[in-house]
């Protein structure tokens, strides 16, 4: 057994004062040498026991892939190829999950080394394997080799939505011989990975490459197709043997505060879509503008709020995150909060908007905030914010509202017989089949807002269920 090293080998990060000025990636990842040193911290728990495997929603053989890096330390390309094969058995998009999974609550949260020191840096090792494989062309080589063994079975599946749920479902089905077409409403595939999570956390090139790998398996992706408008759901049902719905939760939740319609108030969804998908930060080179004034308020305490705040900062604003609880109750990943703090985002806790204040011309001028205090825990287990009646006014040129998202009801209403709950989430059985036989669903469309890896887990589970359904197993 290796000597237990309590402190993790850190990845390289760009300095806060440098990175806060551009959209380049913050974390630079491991070199091969550093990755092997970190891999050496793993105790190689037996597969049947390893808590990290159970902590990963798609059950990657984590000691298995880490072991490949250690065993082949003298032949980096072989080490990475073997490690990638282990990861790919359960996860088709490791460059993404290695970057954005909330590892601290999943695989790393239960790592045994974490009980005596820092958990093994599983996410960053996974990212390293995917990035190195991409750099050296190992992934494409392996894919082409594997694709040669795929035998088409003559059956067709339609996937609606190209986020992590849809892409994973499509990849898993293509691997066992289905003819899969993904329909995407936007002009680029990737879902939130492309239009939501900013470049400095998840470079678009990385997403594009991972999607390229899915296409390499034979999956077709048709963009600019809104199912329900461009093609009807009934047409898909007639043409395909099964359908998977992975339409996400892209409708912003907006509280009807007085004045919320003043110019300069954005939903986080609109703000991030303009910045990410339409490259508004490169206006006029790209033609979608985004108006960001001197002072920007971001309302919320989750990952979306951190992404909006750090994007606004990079566009030159002084940014204030306004959150109705305290730092402890924030739902954003600890790493994202730390990065935002280091870069100079300001935080004000225990405040909630009471009304938005505008000028005569309709532009936002400020926000009246009500001070809160913490009461008893609510159903989420976090202490509930309780209004105190005391208020203050702060001046802002813009506000970005990041208080949650829900599934898109307009699409569901166009689908006859599809049952949803009161929050617009599609109802599914234990095999992720909806109320319509042969139609499956997963990801945020069934969960509301969740995570990339949970969406991928659903995509994988639904692919197996679709295969069983079409092979007459269930």
Omega into 284 within 30° of 0, i.e. cis? yes
DSSP string of 230-256, one letter each residue: TB-HHHHHHH-SEEEE-----EEP---
Non-local CB neighbours of 115 within 8 Å, separated by 6+ positions: none
For 320, phi and psi rounded to 5 degrees?
-120, 120
Q: Please state, in angstroms and rounded to a whole number, the distance separating the CA atoms of residues 416 and 437.
A: 12
- Residue 119 or 445 with smaller CB distance to ligand SF4: 119
In this chain, which stretch among 68-76, 79-87, 104-112, 445-453 interacts with ligand FAD, using CB under 6 A? 445-453
Q: Please state, in angstroms and rounded to a whole number, the distance separating the CA atoms of residues 253 and 305.
A: 13
Of positions 98, 196, 218, 300, contacts ligand FAD by CB under 6 A: 196
Residue 469 CB, nearest approach to ligand SF4 (Å) = 26
Of positions 173, 197, 330, 433, contacts ligand FAD by CB under 6 A: 197
Residue 102 CB, nearest approach to ligand FAD (Å) = 6
Helix boundaries (H) for 315-400: 334-343
Q: Hey, what's the torsion of the CAs at 220, 145, 241, 449, to 10 degrees? A: -60
Contact partner, 111, from ligand SF4, ligand FAD, none, Cβ < 5-8 Å per class: ligand SF4
Residue pair 61/53 in contact (Cβ under 8 Å)? The answer is yes
Instruction: Note whether 101 binds ligand SF4 by CB under 6 A.
Output: yes
Contact partner, 358, from ligand SF4, ligand FAD, none, Cβ < 5-8 Å per class: none
Instruction: Note whether 276 binds ligand FAD by CB under 6 A.
Output: no
Residue 91 CB, nearest approach to ligand FAD (Å) = 13
Contact partner, 250, from ligand FAD, ligand SF4, none, Cβ < 5-8 Å per class: ligand FAD
Instruction: Note whether 120 binds ligand SF4 by CB under 6 A.
Output: yes
Residue 43 CB, nearest approach to ligand SF4 (Å) = 4
Contact partner, 411, from ligand FAD, ligand SF4, none, Cβ < 5-8 Å per class: ligand FAD
Residue closest to 354 by CA, chosen among 270, 265, 255, 267: 255
Could you tell me the end-to-end alpha-carbon distance of the chain, in angstroms, rounded to an integer?
45
Residue closest to 293 by CA, chosen among 209, 218, 214, 364: 364
Of positions 142, 226, 254, 394, contacts ligand FAD by CB under 6 A: 226
Site string for ligand SF4, 206-235 (x = CB under 6 A): ------------------------------
Q: Please state, in angstroms and rounded to a whole number, the distance separating the CA atoms of residues 132 and 139.
A: 9
For 263, phi and psi rounded to 5 degrees?
-60, 140
Q: Which of residues 56-85 bind ligand SF4 (CB under 6 A)?
A: 56, 58, 60, 62-63
Instruction: Note whether 35 binds ligand SF4 by CB under 6 A.
Output: no
- Residue 100 or 280 with smaller CB distance to ligand FAD: 100
For 456, phi and psi rounded to 5 degrees?
-65, -40
Residue pair 324/300 in contact (Cβ under 8 Å)? The answer is no
DSSP string of 80-133, one letter each residue: HHHHHHHHHTT-S-HHHHHHHS-GGGTTGGG-GGGGTSSPP-HHHHHHHHHHHH
Non-local CB neighbours of 25 within 8 Å, separated by 6+ positions: 14, 199, 200, 201, 203
Residue 208 CB, nearest approach to ligand FAD (Å) = 14
Residue pair 468/474 in contact (Cβ under 8 Å)? The answer is yes
Instruction: Note whether 52 binds ligand FAD by CB under 6 A.
Output: no
Residue 246 CB, nearest approach to ligand FAD (Å) = 5
Of positions 122, 312, 400, 470, contacts ligand SF4 by CB under 6 A: 122
Contact partner, 64, from ligand FAD, ligand SF4, none, Cβ < 5-8 Å per class: none
Classified as helix, coil or strand, 160 is strand
Residue 110 CB, nearest approach to ligand SF4 (Å) = 7
Of positions 91, 181, 303, 434, contacts ligand FAD by CB under 6 A: 303
Q: Please state, in angstroms and rounded to a whole number, the distance separating the CA atoms of residues 220 and 447.
A: 26
In this chain, which stretch among 2-10, 38-46, 69-77, 260-268 interacts with ligand SF4, using CB under 6 A? 38-46
Q: Which of residues 126-185 bind ligand SF4 (CB under 6 A)?
A: 126
Residues that bind ligand FAD (CB under 6 A): 100-102, 160-166, 183-186, 191-192, 196-197, 226-228, 246-248, 250, 272, 303-304, 307, 408, 411, 443-445, 450-453, 455
Residues that bind ligand SF4 (CB under 6 A): 42-45, 50-52, 56, 58, 60, 62-63, 91, 97-98, 101, 103, 106-107, 111-113, 120, 122-123, 126, 453
């Amino acid at each position: 057994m290796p000597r237990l090293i309590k402190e993790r080998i850190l990845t390289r990060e760009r300095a806060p004062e440098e990175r806060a000025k551009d959209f380049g990636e913050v974390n630079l990842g491991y070199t091969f040498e550093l990755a092997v040193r970190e891999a050496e911290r793993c105790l190689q728990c037996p597969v049947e026991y390893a808590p990290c495997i159970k902590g990963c929603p798609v059950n990657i053989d984590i000691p298995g892939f880490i072991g490949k890096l250690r065993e082949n330390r003298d032949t980096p390309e072989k080490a990475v190829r073997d490690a990638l094969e282990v990861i790919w058995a359960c996860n088709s998009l490791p460059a993404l999950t290695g970057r954005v999974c909330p590892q601290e609550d999943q695989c790393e949260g239960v790592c045994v080394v974490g009980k005596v020191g820092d958990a093994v840096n599983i996410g960053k090792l996974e990212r390293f394997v995917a990035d190195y494989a991409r750099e050296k062309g190992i992934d494409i080589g392996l894919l082409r080799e594997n694709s040669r063994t795929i035998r088409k079975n003559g059956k067709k599946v339609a996937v609606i939505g190209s986020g992590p749920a849809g892409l994973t479902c499509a990849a898993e089905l293509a691997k066992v011989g289905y003819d899969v077409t993904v329909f995407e409403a936007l002009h680029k595939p990737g879902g939130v990975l492309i239009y939501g999570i900013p470049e400095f956390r998840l470079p678009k090139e990385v997403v594009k490459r991972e999607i390229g790998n899915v296409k390499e398996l034979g999956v077709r992706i048709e963009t600019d197709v809104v199912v329900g408008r461009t093609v009807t759901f009934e047409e898909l049902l007639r043409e395909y043997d099964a359908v998977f719905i992975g339409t996400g939760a892209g409708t912003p939740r907006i509280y009807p505060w007085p004045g919320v319609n003043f110019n300069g108030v954005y939903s986080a969804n609109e703000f991030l879509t303009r910045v990410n998908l339409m490259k508004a930060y490169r206006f006029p080179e790209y033609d979608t503008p985004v108006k960001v004034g001197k002072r920007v308020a971001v309302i919320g305490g989750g990952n979306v709020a951190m992404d909006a705040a750090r994007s606004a900062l990079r566009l030159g604003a002084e940014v204030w995150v306004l959150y109705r609880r305290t730092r402890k109750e924030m739902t954003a990943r600890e790493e994202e909060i730390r990065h935002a703090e280091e870069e100079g985002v300001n935080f004000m806790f225990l405040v909630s908007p009471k009304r938005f204040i505008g000028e005569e011309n309709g532009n936002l001028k400020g926000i009246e905030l009500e001070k809160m205090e913490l009461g008893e825990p609510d159903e989420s287990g976090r202490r509930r914010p309780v209004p105190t009646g005391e208020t203050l006014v702060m001046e802002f040129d813009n506000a970005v509202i990041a208080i949650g998202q829900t599934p898109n009801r307009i699409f569901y209403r166009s689908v006859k017989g599809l049952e949803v709950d009161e929050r617009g989430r599609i109802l599914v059985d234990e095999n992720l089949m909806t109320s319509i036989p042969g139609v499956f669903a997963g990801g945020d469309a069934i969960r509301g807002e969740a995570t990339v890896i949970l969406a991928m887990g659903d995509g994988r589970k639904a692919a197996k269920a679709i295969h069983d359904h079409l092979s007459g197993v269930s």
